C-alpha cells in the first residue's frame, strides 16, 4: 500500500475529488496538515468545512484569502512542523467570480456595470457548475502567485464528482454559447425583442416588479461580451494546470458498493481526460480485526452478566464483521478495476474529525508505510 507522502513526491497541486459526503474535506485538510508537518509550506482550499473543523483551525467564514493556521495548534497536538506552515481558506465562490470579473473587465465602468447588474448577481450565484469552476479559478490564482510548496484543493460537495471535471467546459459554453451570441449581436434578440411581443411581457414585469429586466439583460450581455476572450483564455490555462505533471488527483471514496463504483467510473473519466491520477483513498473503512477473532461461546455473557445483552452484542459484532468483509471485497475490486496499487485505507474512526488532533489521527493511515501501517491496522481493530 501507498503513503500520501510518496504519491505527492514532486507535486505542487493535489486535488481531492470524489462524490459528496465521503470525507473529501477532512482528507484534504489532513493531507495539508501532514505535508506541513513534513516541513512544507502548504495551503489548503476547503469548500464546505464542517463548522467545528473550520472553527478549530481558526478559519473565518468570509475573506476568500488564505490564513495561516496557528503554529501553536501543532505544538498543542504534539506535532513538530520542521519549519513547515499550514495555510487554509474557505472558498467564497461569489467573491471569486467577482474577482474574475474585476480581472477581465476592460475598464472600470464595465466592471462596475457588471458587478452591480442584477442578472449578474443572480447568475454568478446560480450558474451551474460555477462553484466547481470557481474552486479551480481560485486554485489557479494562488498557484500563479507561487507562494506555496503545495496546494491542496478540496472539491465542492456535488453529488457527482464529474461535475467538477466538466465545470470549465460548461462555463465557457455558457459564456460563448448561443444564448449570448443571440443577445449580443447588434441585430440580435435584445434589439429585436424590444419592439415585439416579448417587450409586453418585460414591460408588464417592469410595472409589477419595478425591475427593468430587459435593459438589465441587454446590459449584462453587452458588458460581458468584451470579456469572453479573457474567460476562454483563463479557462484554457486552468485546464492546463489540471493536466500538468506537477498536479495529481487523489480520488476519495467510501468502501460501500455504490461509492466504489462511482470512484471506478470517475477514475476512468480522469484517464480519458488525460488528467493525472495519483491514487485512491478509501475512507471510513470497517475492519473485522483478525487478531480479536470470535468470542468463545458463553464468554460475552460471563463478561456482561446478561444473556440478552450478550446476544445483542454478539449480533452486532457479527453484522460488523459482515460489513468489514464486504468492505475488503469492495476495495479489492476497486484496486483491480483501477489497476493501481496506490490504494490507501483509512478506518472509520470512533469519533468525528473536527480538529488538528483528529486530522493527525487520520494521517497515521494516510502517511503510514509498510510495517508501520500493518501495526496501525491491527491496533485499530
Ligand atoms: N475516517 C473517518 N472516521 C470517522 N469520521 C469521519 C472520517 N472521515 C470523515 N469523518 C466525518 O464525516 C463527516 C463528513 O466528512 P467531510 O470531510 O466533511 O465529507 P465531504 O467533504 O466528502 O462531504 C464529518 O463529520 C467528518 O468529521
Ligand atoms: Mg466537503
- pLDDT tens digits, one per residue of 113-144: 889 988 788 777 666 567 888 888 899 999 99
- pLDDT bin (cut points 50, 70, 90) of residue 187 is low
Largest CA distance in the chain: 89
User: What is the per-residue pLDDT across 6-44, written as a single tens digit (0 to 9) for each?
Assistant: 999 999 999 999 888 899 999 999 999 999 999 999 999
CB of 161 within 6 A of ligand 1: the answer is no
Supply the pLDDT for residue 375.
57
Q: Does ligand 1 lie within 6 Å of residue 52's CB atom? A: no
Residue with cell 488538528: 356
Query: d(Cα 189, Cα 186) in Å, to the nearest integer?
Result: 9
Ligand 1 near 110 CB (within 6 A) = no
Evaluated on CA atoms 56, 57, 58, 64, the torsion sign reads: negative
Q: Read off the DSSP letter of residue 39.
A: T
> What is the Å distance from ligand 2's center to 25 Cα?
4
Is the C-beta atom of 155 inside 6 A of ligand 1?
Answer: no
Of the CA atoms within 13 Å of residue 248, those in its CB half-sphere come to 20
22 lines ligand 1 (CB under 6 A): yes
The whole-chain average pLDDT of the chain stands at: 84
CA distance 153 to 358: 19
Cα–Cα distance for residue pair 217/122, rounded to 1 Å: 11
Ligand 1 atom, smallest distance to 347 CA: 1
Flag whether pLDDT at 249 surpasses 80: yes
Asked if 25 contacts 35 with a C-beta cutoff of 8 angstroms, the reply is no
Where along the chain do its domains lie? 4-380
Which residue, chain included where needed, has cell 443571440? 182
25 C-beta closer than 6 A to ligand 1: yes
Tell me how far apart the alpha carbons of residues 22 and 185 are, in angstroms, rounded to a whole number: 46
CA distances from 266 to 7, 22, 64, 283, 338 (A): 19, 14, 29, 16, 10
Q: Which residue has cell 471506478? A: 264
Report the predicted TM-score, pTM, of the whole model to 2 decimal places.
0.86
Q: Which numbered atom of ligand 1 lies nearest the CA of 27?
A: 17
Could you tell me if the CB of 157 is within 6 A of ligand 1? Answer: yes
Say how many Å lie between the CA of residue 50 and the centre of ligand 2.
Answer: 8
CA distance linking residue 55 with residue 50, whole number of Å: 9
* Beta strands at 150-154 and 247-253: parallel, antiparallel or unpaired: unpaired
Among 352, 363, 380, residue to substitute to test ligand 1 (most atoms within 8 Å of Cβ):
352
Cβ contact 276:248 at 8 Å: yes
Q: Name the percent of the chain lying above pLDDT 70.
A: 82
Q: 165 pLDDT exceeds 70?
A: yes
Adjacent-strand bridge partners of 246: none
Tens digits of residue pLDDT in 229-244: 777 888 888 889 999 9
> What is the model's pLDDT at position 374?
56
Residue entry with cell 465557457: 172
The CATH number corresponding to 4-380 among 3.40.50.300, 1.10.3720.10, 2.40.10.10, 3.30.1490.100 equals 3.40.50.300
Residue 348 in contact with ligand 1 by CB distance below 6 A? yes
Ligand nearest to the CA of 159: 1
Residue nearest to atom 13 of ligand 1 (CA): 23
Given the CA of residue 50, which atom of ligand 1 is nearest to it?
Answer: 18
pLDDT category at 183 given cuts 50, 70, 90 is: low
Residue 12 per-residue DSSP state: S
The C-alpha angle 348, 350, 351, rounded to 5 degrees, equals 105
Determine contact, residues 338/282, Cβ cutoff 8 Å.
no
349 in contact with ligand 1, CB cutoff 6 A: yes
Amino acid at each position: 500500500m501507498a503513503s500520501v507522502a510518496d504519491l505527492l513526491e514532486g507535486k505542487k497541486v493535489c486535488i481531492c475529488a470524489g462524490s459528496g459526503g465521503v470525507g473529501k474535506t477532512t482528507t484534504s485538510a489532513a493531507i495539508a496538515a501532514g505535508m506541513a508537518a513534513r516541513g512544507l509550506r502548504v495551503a489548503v482550499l476547503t469548500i464546505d468545512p464542517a463548522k467545528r473543523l473550520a472553527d478549530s483551525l481558526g478559519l473565518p467564514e468570509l475573506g476568500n484569502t488564505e490564513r495561516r493556521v496557528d503554529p501553536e495548534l501543532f505544538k498543542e497536538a504534539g506535532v513538530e512542523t520542521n519549519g513547515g506552515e499550514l495555510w487554509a481558506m474557505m472558498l467564497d465562490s461569489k467573491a471569486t467570480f467577482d474577482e474574475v470579473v474585476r480581472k477581465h473587465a476592460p475598464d472600470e465602468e464595465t466592471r462596475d456595470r457588471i458587478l452591480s447588474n442584477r442578472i449578474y448577481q443572480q447568475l454568478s450565484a446560480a450558474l451551474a457548475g460555477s462553484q466547481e469552476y470557481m474552486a479551480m479559478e481560485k486554485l489557479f490564482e494562488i498557484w500563479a502567485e507561487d507562494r506555496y510548496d503545495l496546494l491542496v484543493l478540496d472539491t465542492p460537495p456535488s453529488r457527482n464528482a464529474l461535475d467538477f471535471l466538466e465545470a470549465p467546459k460548461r462555463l465557457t459554453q455558457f459564456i460563448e454559447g448561443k444564448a449570448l451570441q443571440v443577445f449580443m449581436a447588434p441585430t440580435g434578440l435584445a434589439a429585436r425583442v424590444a419592439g415585439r411581443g416579448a417587450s409586453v411581457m418585460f414591460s408588464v414585469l417592469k410595472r409589477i416588479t419595478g425591475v427593468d429586466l430587459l435593459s438589465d439583460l441587454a446590459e449584462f450581455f453587452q458588458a460581458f461580451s468584451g470579456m469572453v476572450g479573457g474567460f476562454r483564455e483563463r479557462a484554457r490555462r486552468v485546464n492546463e494546470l489540471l493536466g500538468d505533471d506537477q498536479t495529481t488527483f487523489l480520488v476519495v471514496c467510501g468502501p460501500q458498493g455504490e461509492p466504489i463504483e462511482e470512484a471506478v467510473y470517475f477514475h476512468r473519466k480522469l484517464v480519458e481526460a488525460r488528467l493525472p491520477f495519483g491514487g485512491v483513498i478509501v475512507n471510513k473503512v470497517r475492519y473485522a480485526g483478525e487478531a480479536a477473532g470470535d468470542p468463545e461461546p458463553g464468554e460475552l455473557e460471563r463478561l456482561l452478566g446478561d444473556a440478552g445483552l450478550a446476544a445483542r452484542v454478539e449480533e452486532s459484532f457479527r453484522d460488523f464483521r459482515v460489513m468489514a468483509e464486504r468492505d475488503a471485497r469492495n476495495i479489492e475490486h476497486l484496486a483491480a478495476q483501477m489497476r493501481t496499487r496506490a490504494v490507501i485505507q483509512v478506518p472509520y474512526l470512533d469519533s468525528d474529525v473536527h480538529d488538528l488532533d483528529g486530522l493527525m489521527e487520520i494521517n497515521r493511515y494516510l502517511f503510514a508505510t509498510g510495517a508501520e501501517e500493518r501495526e496501525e491496522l491491527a491496533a485499530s481493530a
